Amino acid sequence: MTLFSYTCDATDSMTQGRAGVWHTPHGPLQTPGFMPVGTLATVKGLLPAQLRAAGAQMLLANTYHLALRPGERIVEEHGGLHRFMNWDGPILTDSGGFQVFSLAARRKVDDEKIVFRSHIDGTELELSPERAVQIQESLGADCIMCLDECPPAGESREKILAAVDRTTRWAQRCREAQKRSDQALFGIVQGGIHPDLRERSAEALVQLDFPGYAVGGLSVGEPPAAMYSTLDATVPVLPADRPRYLMGVGKPEDILEAVCRGIDMFDCVMPTRNGRNAMAFTSSGPVRIRNSQYRSDLGALDAECSCPACTDYTRSYLRHLFVAGEMLGPILLSLHNITYYQKLVRQLRDAILESRLQSLRSELLTRWSGAA
């Protein structure tokens, strides 16, 4: 029996949305599913038990950052990421490819490898496809990613085409370098917002027969409509019997639209980053809790949420925590936002199972546009 398998439980009759289960050695991920980001083997400010209580099933960690601190060998000596961070569910590690985009001033790329200058102390870190796989095998995540080149929005078509073909060559090298059979290696589709380049990338990666496929290079500055049209061109090329992962997305409305186009898995720093900066996602729209209007507000942050921030405290108290610089404020809003995102993907899953995703989509978009 394979250690990894994807089962589709239902497809929505009016959209491309689908509900399924991705089975891994550390348990299942019900899809659509959202992975909180634990870059350095921790979701900032939150305990694993709190993440579980919020509904999180799977977490993400970062290969580049963990290779720098504490080093993959330290993690390996603990028995891998699961024991290192005390998380017994599935874990995904990205390859470091996104840092080609986010750390553009600190890296050089050629056909052989990426060379980074550490943002910590300036030392060199080389990432070849083989090295990226080696690090991720030492980290021991359930799902690992091929090394890819992620060009920024607005890059020339010529350079995006070069990144697509380099990503394909690197994917082949990652496939050949992989030694562990208890990790699912995903290929990453690139191509900017060019439908033909996305199809070229996806078709080449499908030939390599990966157990899952990611769509990278989106949410890097392109308008939402361009993201959605890119998914329209990309997702139909990907196998229906494998999970589909949209990397680094994102806003609730982007998750909604991506699910309607057949995406299964998501990650983003937005719930925790925004929470640390006093912004909460709520059923009635975003709440910027530092605003003076909440100074004497004795109501709940979100009356439809059952997390501790909403059931145990008032908006007035939460505002006080941020104004006073107390660490409990960022913790509570991060926990709330993770809870909100998990509730959202559960709502979308339930709607697919009940063939009402289109009506939920209309309801949510109307609610969110009214809040804006």
Cβ atoms of 304 and 339 closer than 8 Å: no
Confirm whether 196 is a catalytic residue: no
Residue reference for tokens 């898995």: 265
Fold of 13-268: TIM Barrel (3.20.20)
Considering the candidates 94, 142, 254, 302, report the single residue annotated as catalytic: 94
pLDDT at 180 over 70: yes
CA distances from 90 to 41, 57, 59, 147, 190 (A): 13, 7, 7, 20, 25
3-state SS class at 149? coil
Pairwise CA distance, residues 1 & 91, whole Å: 21
- Count CB atoms within 10 A of the CB of residue 79: 10
pTM > 0.85: yes
Give the pLDDT band (50/70/90) at residue 122. confident
Read off the pLDDT of each residue in 291-308 and give the average, rounded to a whole number. 98
pLDDT at 103 over 70: no
pLDDT at 48: 98
Give the pLDDT band (50/70/90) at residue 372. very low
pLDDT at 105: 60
Share of the chain above pLDDT 70, in %: 96
Condensed to tens digits (0 to 9), the pLDDT of residues 141-168 reads 999 999 999 888 889 999 999 999 999 9
Pairing of the two strands 114-117 and 107-109: antiparallel
Q: At a CB cut-off of 8 Å and minimum separation 6, what does 120 contact?
A: 68, 69
Nearest to 109, CA basis, from 50, 169, 62? 169
Give the pLDDT band (50/70/90) at residue 100. low
Confirm whether 267 is a catalytic residue: yes
Read off the pLDDT of each residue in 351-361 and give the average, rounded to a whole number. 97
pLDDT at 89 over 50: yes
Read off the pLDDT of each residue in 300-311 and give the average, rounded to a whole number. 97
Give DSSP secondary structure letters for 79-145: TSHHHHTT--S-EEEE-STTHHHHTGGGEEE-SS-EEEE-TTT--EEEE-HHHHHHHHHHHT-SEEE
Identity of the residue numbered 356: R
Considering the candidates 12, 142, 254, 267, report the single residue annotated as catalytic: 267
Average pLDDT taken over every residue of the chain: 94
Give DSSP secondary structure letters for 279-337: EE--TTS-EETTSGGGTT--S-S-TT--SHHHHS--HHHHHHHHHTT-THHHHHHHHHH
Read off the pLDDT of each residue in 320-338 and give the average, rounded to a whole number. 98
Give the pLDDT band (50/70/90) at residue 261. very high
Read off the pLDDT of each residue in 4-23 and give the average, rounded to a whole number. 97
Cβ atoms of 333 and 280 closer than 8 Å: yes
Q: What is the DSSP letter of 153?
A: T
Pairwise CA distance, residues 228 & 36, whole Å: 22
Read off the pLDDT of each residue in 254-271 and give the average, rounded to a whole number. 98
Residue spans of the domains in the chain: they are 13-268, 275-372
